[in-house]
Amino acid sequence: MSRVALWIRATRPLYLPTSVIPGLAGALVAVGVAGADWWVLPFALLALLLVHAGTDVCNDVEDAARGVDSPDKMDNSRVFSTGQMSIREGRILYAALFAAAFVLGLGICFLPDPTRPALLAYGLAGILGGWLYTGGPRPYKYDGLGDPAIVVLMGPLLTQGAYTAMTGDAFHAPAFWLGLAPGLLIMAVLTGNNASDIEEDRAAGVRTLAVRHGFRRARALFLVALTAAFLAPVALWAAGLFEAWILLPVALAPVAVARARQALSVPTSGDDRLRTLAPLTAQLHLLFSVLLCVGVVLSRV
**Predicted local distance difference test score (pLDDT) of residue 161:** 96
**Do 254 and 271 meet the contact criterion of CB atoms below 8 Å apart?**
no
Domain map (residue ranges) of the chain: 3-300
Task: Encode pLDDT of 41-86 as tens digits.
Answer: 999 999 999 999 999 999 999 988 888 776 666 567 889 888 899 9
Task: Encode pLDDT of 103-152 as tens digits.
Answer: 999 999 988 877 888 999 999 999 999 999 999 888 998 888 999 999 99
Task: Encode pLDDT of 237-278 as tens digits.
Answer: 999 999 999 999 999 999 999 999 999 998 888 778 888 999
CA distance readout (Å), 33 to 36, 166, 167, 179, 282: 6, 9, 8, 19, 31
Backbone angles phi, psi at 180, to 5 degrees: -60, -45
Task: Encode pLDDT of 211-234 as tens digits.
Answer: 999 999 999 999 999 999 999 999
CA distance linking residue 126 with residue 211, whole number of Å = 26
Residue 13 predicted with pLDDT over 80 = yes
Residue-wise DSSP of 109-172: HT-SSS--HHHHHHHHHHHHHHHHHHSSSS-GGGGT-HHHHHHHHTTHHHHHHHHHHHH--S--
**Do 277 and 197 meet the contact criterion of CB atoms below 8 Å apart?**
no
pTM of the model: 0.94
CA distance readout (Å), 105 to 59, 94, 148: 22, 16, 25
The model's confidence at residue 158, banded by pLDDT at 50, 70 and 90, is very high
**Do 40 and 51 meet the contact criterion of CB atoms below 8 Å apart?**
no
**Do 22 and 158 meet the contact criterion of CB atoms below 8 Å apart?**
yes
Residue 267's SS3 state is: coil
